[in-house]
A = this chain, B = another copy of it.
């Protein structure tokens, strides 16, 4: 690489401003480390008028994407506009023009994996996306490189800060979902439309990326179970805490069981003695198990302007130092036989049922569970005004049978609301 490395930044939003701020603060550190001059040559955005709160020389701002993509002096393109288009188009053009790419765009990486990797290989450039999963946490590179001697056995990730913030607050302050969500929105930890975060889609996209790198297999989101946290109540969290010494976390899980890959995103009851239970607030944590190393966890800020910029600039340093590194994420061959269906999952389950206060209710419910081979581990029934909530924890059962049993239970006259079940780690 030349003695001066020129960087073009597409997208001057929150993360883009974080990258500019990081370079403003730590350019010396960077340049000394790679022993080259590093220059942010151009920043392109549709809006170059808004004050982003960071120092930038006006001359490098532009609204014309060609100022980056067609400038032969630019070596590395950072894409931070997010979304599918025009991000995909810009990245592909950048690579065709011989530029390395750094992006935080999990949606794009998760959806267009093959196209992006093939283009990078064909054009002999690198594409790096450490920031796309776990924000500032060193995660993808350690998994892909430091742990490469391992067949991965499982990934358990708390990889959505919004959902984790809400669940943590609900637990710490005994508050309701809606109440905490509103606070999270006011504090800027949740979007005005929070669906993408709280319904698990964000975690699913990140899990797709982790699964490729960990297991060498690409699974589309349509092909696995994704379930959010909007149905979790304070009752569930209190029961988990007081009766099971556990907490509830939105987990993204990829796990080899008998050669088949379980891949799923859902709220999960996590025992307090598991390290993941200590990952609180907006922080992320990813717990990995390799066949040689055993369990490993990486923890840190999963989002935010500066933490994400840390990973983006880290990728730039990696590219400058190792521009010839092959574009190979994950094992070259997968050891996964097939993707398991969620119906084949075996798990313990927590159930919350809202029943009428009349004789025989429990008899009817336990009859249906028994019919589907589900045995009850423990049960609590509480007197309430509008009905009697019953809380159950089952022994290990088959998801298919659990779903069928719950469907049948919910048709009983004595059941007053949809029965909720949560898987237990």
Query: Nearest B residue to A333 by beta-carbon distance?
Result: B32
Taking A148-B314, A310-B290 as contacts, is the C-beta distance between A331 and B29 under 8 angstroms? Answer: yes
A310 and B278 form a contact (CB under 8 A):
no
Chain B residues in 8 Å Cβ range of A22: 149, 292
With known contacts A307-B294, A321-B326, A33–B148 Cβ distance under 8 A: yes
Which residue of A30, A35, A130, A142 has the most chain B CB atoms within 10 A of its CB atom?
A: A142
Contacting pair B294 A150 (CB below 8 A): no
- Flag whether A151 is at the interface (Cβ < 8 A): yes
Q: Which of A121-153 contact B (CB under 8 A)?
A: 130, 136-138, 141-143, 145-151
A130: which B residues are within 8 A, CB to CB?
146
Evaluate contact between A300 and B292: CB separation under 8 angstroms. Answer: no
Query: In which size bucket is the chain A interface?
Result: 35 or more
A333 to B33 Cα, complex, angstroms:
8
Which residues of chain B come closer than 8 Å to A321, judged between CB atoms? 145, 325-326
Please, how many angstroms separate the alpha-carbon atoms of A296 and B297 in the complex?
11
B332 near A32 with CB under 8 A, answer yes
**Cβ-neighbour of A292 out of B25, B296, B317 (below 8 A):** B25
Judge whether A138 and B148 touch: CB under 8 Å: no
**Cα of A328 to Cα of B321 in the assembled complex, Å:** 10
Picked from B294, B306, B309, B314, the residue with its CB within 8 Å of the CB of A136 is: B294
Nearest residue, chain B, Cβ from A305? B292
Known interface pairs A275-B278, A297-B298. Does A292 touch B146 (Cβ–Cβ under 8 Å)?
A: no
* B-chain residues with CB within 8 Å of residue A310 when the two chains form the complex: 147, 149-150, 290, 292-293
Interface flag for A301 (CB, 8 Å): yes
Q: Which of A234-280 contact B (CB under 8 A)?
A: 275, 278-279
Residues 78-91 of A, flagged 1 when their CB comes within 8 A of B and 0 if not, give 00000000000000
Q: How far is the CA of A137 from the CA of B317 in the complex (A)?
A: 22
Known contacts A25-B291, A35-B326, A138-B296; 6 additional CB pairs below 8 A are A130-B146, A138-B146, A142-B146, A148-B317, A275-B299, A296-B299
- What is A's interface to B at a CB cutoff of 8 Å? 22, 25-26, 29-30, 32-33, 35, 130, 136-138, 141-143, 145-151, 275, 278-279, 290-301, 304, 306-307, 309-311, 313-314, 316-318, 321-322, 324-326, 328, 331-333
